[in-house]
Amino acid sequence: MAEHLQLGITPTTTIFALLVALAIYLIIGKLIIKRKNHVDRLPLPPGPKPWPIIGNLPHLGSVPHSSLAEMARKYGPLMHLKLGSVHVVVAASASVASQFLKTHDANFAYRPPNAGAKYVAYNYRDLVFAPYSPRWRFLRKICYSHLFSPKALDNFHHIRQIIDEHQSGYGTESHKDLLSMLNGLKRDGNGDGEGDSLDDIEIKVLLLTFRLHPSTPLSIPHMSRETCEVNGYSIPIGSTLLVNVWAIARDPSIWSDSLEFRPERFLPGGAQANVDVKGNDFELIPFGAGRRICLQDESRDSDDPIGGGHVGTRVRLGTAQ
Ligand code: HEM
């Protein structure tokens, strides 16, 4: 007690300190609640009127990315739909996509539940549909270090030797399996079939192909963990996010003659000469962006700048012309 008095700590100062701490706690708490209420009070993004029970499912048509692009012309690049009882938000411009996949990246790093992932992927145990969690982080880490590192790729060298053996026997009756057929296509299409890496021109052609014909036009759905605000609208907790990669890559306000096949736009001096597909340039995101960006992108190296060599994605300018 005497020591406390020496330090100037009296029962009065203790009570005063506690009251100040309580006041700070209440003020901060109130501010957070106010902010939450503020977001809840904002309107939902615009979108077509949903039907009872089924919501906007009939609006999707047989080619959903195309129907959604058409709707975005009417409702704008940030839309809200109900698919059944699920809130769905659709990003149809580079700037809206960057709001979700950059500004609110952590909040949208989850995947919505789906029966395929539950029953086929062993209750969401694969990497693509795993919930955003330490386990997901661990799985990505394993892939970087044991599947795509230069050392790991070296370890697959023996597979290329097998491939060589098939190539030497191409065309003979005894080698008519899938691998020899693919080898044959490669040989017929490329002339020599030599080399493991893509050259600059080949990469530009790939970019061109990914722009007009992305393999996943609506990307893989993301899901939000908290309610948040985007462009003045409220995005409810648990919303499914669809990024219309297809519509963004055809946006006439970004791409001049957007539907034209013009390889020179990606060549030095062209309007999109420096565009990359690593998720930094939201006008071209065939591999997605943010935390859940395609894992393949991490397999990039200096000889193989889009990582496609590892899966045999090879396009020759000669073929595209
Ligand atoms: C041309 C080929 C490919 C394209 C266009 C492509 C595209 C994509 C896209 C759009 C996503 C979703 C990104 C997002 O959720 O925002 C994705 C995710 C993913 N991709 Fe690819 N991909 C390709 C090849 C590959 C290959 C070869 C692998 C494996 C070696 C791979 C592994 C993955 C994985 C694991 C994910 C999920 C990542 C996560 O949820 O954390 N992809 N890919």
pTM to 2 decimals? 0.78
How far apart are the CA of 73 and the centre of ligand 1, in A?
28
Quick one: 158 exposed, middle or buried, by C-beta within 10 A (0-12, 13-18, 19+)? exposed
Q: How many CB atoms lie within 10 A of CB 22?
A: 10
Task: Tell me if 315 CB under 6 Å of ligand 1.
Answer: no
Question: Which helix (H) or strand (E) element contains residue 129?
Answer: none
CATH number given to 48-132+197-320: 1.10.630.10
User: Locate tokens 């597979």: which residue?
Assistant: 159
The pLDDT score that the predictor gives to residue 12 is 85
Ligand 1 center to 318 CA (angstroms): 27
The pLDDT score that the predictor gives to residue 149 is 79
Give residue 174's pLDDT: 58
pLDDT tens digit sequence for 138-148? 999 998 888 87
- Name the stretches of the chain with pLDDT < 50: 1, 191-195, 299-321
Q: What is the pLDDT at residue 185?
A: 58
Ligand 1 pocket check for 295: Cβ under 6 Å:
yes
Q: Is the minimum distance from the CB of 313 to ligand 1 under 6 angstroms?
A: yes
What's the gap in Å between 178 CA and the centre of ligand 1?
24
pLDDT at 138: 95
Q: At residue 185, what is the residue type?
A: L
d(CA 50, CA 147) in angstroms, rounded, equals 45
The pLDDT value given to residue 307: 41
- The DSSP annotation for 235-286 comes to E-TT-EEEE-HHHHTT-TTTSTTTTS--GGGGSTTSTTTT--SSSS-TT--T
Write down the domain spans for the chain. 1-41, 48-132+197-320
pLDDT digits (tens, 9 = 90+) for 173-219: 555 666 666 666 556 555 444 445 566 677 777 777 889 999 999 99
Which residue type, as a one-letter code, is found at position 84?
A: G
Tell which one of 208, 287, 292, 313 to mutate to probe ligand 1, the residue whose CB is within 8 A of the most ligand atoms. Answer: 287
In degrees, rounded to 5, the angle at the alpha carbon of residue 68 between the alpha carbons of residues 66 and 72 is: 115
Rounded-to-integer distance, Cα 222 and Cα 107, Å = 9
